Amino acid sequence: MKISIYAKCSDCCHVRVTEDAGQTELYDEDGYVPSFLSIQEYGDYIDLEIDNLTGKIMNWVPIKKEDLKKDEDDE
């Protein structure tokens, strides 16, 4: 079984990315869905499929630190 989530955040998306078990913040923004999570280059849409058995997001592409920086530069 898989769970499909397609959502529009309407400028109310909060994304926080940390490492070191949450000790180091890499990204923390409110507003649009950042390009590294969006199904488009920009916008408010999130599209995820989750494997119900494992709880893992399917077809996830790991986010690179340089993508976080690029998104901050776009603002």
Task: Give 66's Cβ-side CA count (13 Å radius).
Answer: 0
C-beta separation of 12 from 23 below 8 A: no
| pLDDT (tens digit per residue) in 40-75 | 556 788 888 999 999 999 988 888 888 887 666 665
Domain that holds residue 36: 2-73
Per the prediction, the chain carries an average pLDDT of 83
When divided into structural domains, the chain yields a total of: 1
The tens digit of pLDDT for each residue in 2-34 reads 999 888 888 788 889 998 888 899 999 888 888
- Which has the closest alpha carbon to 4: 61, 65, 60, 51? 51
CA angle centred on 50, ends 27 and 44, rounded to 5°: 45
DSSP code of residue 57: B
The answer to whether 7 and 43 are in contact (CB under 8 A) is no
